[in-house]
A and B are shown apart, each in its own frame.
Chain A
Amino acid sequence: MRRINFARIAVNVVLAAALPLAAGAQQMESHIGNLTGHSDAGRQLYFRYCWGCHGPHGNGMGENEPWVTPQPRNFVAAVFKCRSTPTGTLPLDSDLFNTLKRGFNFTNMPSWAALTDQNRADLVAFIKTFSPRWKSEKPGDPIQIPPEPTLTIGSIKHGQELFQKLECWKCHGQEGRGDGPSASTLTDSNDQPIRPYDFTSDNRSKCGRTNQDLYKIFMTGVDGTPMPSFADVVKPEDAWDLVHFLRTLQYNNPSPELTMWEGTPEGKAIVAAKRVKQTYTGSGVKP
């Protein structure tokens, strides 16, 4: 045992020099509910799990960055996609925490649900050391989401009108397939091509599965991408109508909205026309 201890000490000394050094040397905390995350602990986890894509300096330039699209998030820029805060503001700690738990569909970012809550809180704290914005700014005030009104056909139809009026289809396409006239030209803030969300592919939109998550996406915008915030132009009650309509575009995903929509002759015809028979490719597109 004694010999082993010596060996341990010797290797520690060698390793201390080899340990990766993080860009952000300052201490940060995160607060999610009654959890407190510490950046010191988060750093250990970051250099185990995250640096391959996000890079040792947190700038999204990890060794795998050339092979990852969309590019890994740049924590130095501190622009985050899934927030409950208005466009251009920093997200809440809980937004980042939930993102870590959920992962991002359609990207390389997996769910980190296998880690403990404490681990994720620590990681959030460490991520915040990369940008001075976390020192100089406060996260935005979360947008107010009124309670969801009762689902009606009128609500879906009004949502359908809004989809036209707000020109959501310019990118997302009339059928929500992500194939609108502008879709092919879209680039993100790194000038990399990016696809608009295809509602027909799945029920998992980028920032979560619930109606509230859908509400938040277009009211906060997806910062760093072409998806703008509609908070200034859509009234909260209208926003829920839009949510109800958007659900009917996800025709592969059973929902009360889809059921009600298919209960009308108009909706039934629209959904039936979309249901193209396809072979099972493993791409998630089911026949």
Chain B
Amino acid sequence: MQMKRVVIAGVVVLAASALAVANPNPAGGTISGKVTYEGTPKKMKPIDMSKEPSCAKMYATPPTGESVVTGPGNVLQDVVVYISAGAPDDAAPSSAAVFTQKGCRYIPHVLAFQVNQELKIVNEDQTSHNIHPMPKLNREWNKSQPPGTPPISEKYDKAEFIPVKCNVHPWMHGNFAVLKNSHYAVTGESGSFTLPNLPPGKYTVTAWQEEYGDQSQEVTISGGETKTVTFVFKAKPY
């Protein structure tokens, strides 16, 4: 029902949740901005996939870890920006959020979706994965997904940031951001985000990065204006 816009770069085509939908409330305000860092982020190391040749051969040069992904101009990617207070809870959209295992990586690395929204997990690799999200509030399950098996369909009924891992391939690491309302975005290559269609009101905007934690700012929307918010994370070199 509700609208959302998620700015994601690259391969993101797969992420159905990322598609912008029609805007039934064009009169609302917008919060947009950028997420950057200061300091020196730790260097992401190349992943050794030699134990899984079927994945290793998909890369000319080994991919690097994705827990901190930066871009030109000190921007941070894969940061979830969402309204943590001020907006009512929304019903889950009927579309599914899709999480794909390809080349022994998770695409997207951070998948944001809503409470009770369908989550589809797809294995496009020629190897067995196990999908082991490790929630604290939601149910913890752990399922095997050999190649060629149908997508796994799941739901989470509590808002939570959930680390996801594959025990068979210890380098595989991703995140689910289970959110209460539809006002959220995940930053892409440009590090920017837009939360449109916000009715007038006082909001807490929160940015969450898996290593650096979260930051919040208060923003008041009174009409159709666009407010700019900037989040700056302190990067840790280790």
Contacts and interface: CB of A to CB of B under 8 A. Distances in A.
B128, B152, B167, B168: most-surrounded residue (chain A CB, <10 A): B167
Interface size class of A (residues with CB under 8 A): 20 to 34
Nearest to A229: B143
A87 interface: yes
B51 interface: yes
Interface stretch (B63-71, B75-83, B130-138): B130-138
B129 to A, nearest CB: 9
B235 to A, nearest CB: 23
A223 to B, nearest CB: 6
B149 interface: yes
Given A182-B169, A185-B170, A228-B132, A233 B146 contact: yes
Nearest to A184: B170
A226 B144 contact: no
B228 interface: no
A182 B168 contact: yes
Contact of A233 (B140, B144, B169): B144
A170 B146 contact: no
B142 A87 contact: yes
A227 B142 CA distance: 7
Interface size class of B (residues with CB under 8 A): 20 to 34
A167 B129 CA distance: 9
A111 interface: no
A277 interface: no
Contacts of B127: 167
Contacts of A135: none
B32 interface: no
Contacts of B152: 232
A179 B94 CA distance: 44
Contact of B141 (A87, A137, A185, A230): A87
Interface of A: 77, 79, 86-89, 137, 165-167, 170-171, 181-182, 185-187, 189, 221-233
Q: Kindly list the 6 A-B residue pairs having the minimum CB-CB distance in the complex, ordered from nearest.
A: A88-B141, A226-B167, A228-B130, A185-B170, A167-B128, A88-B139
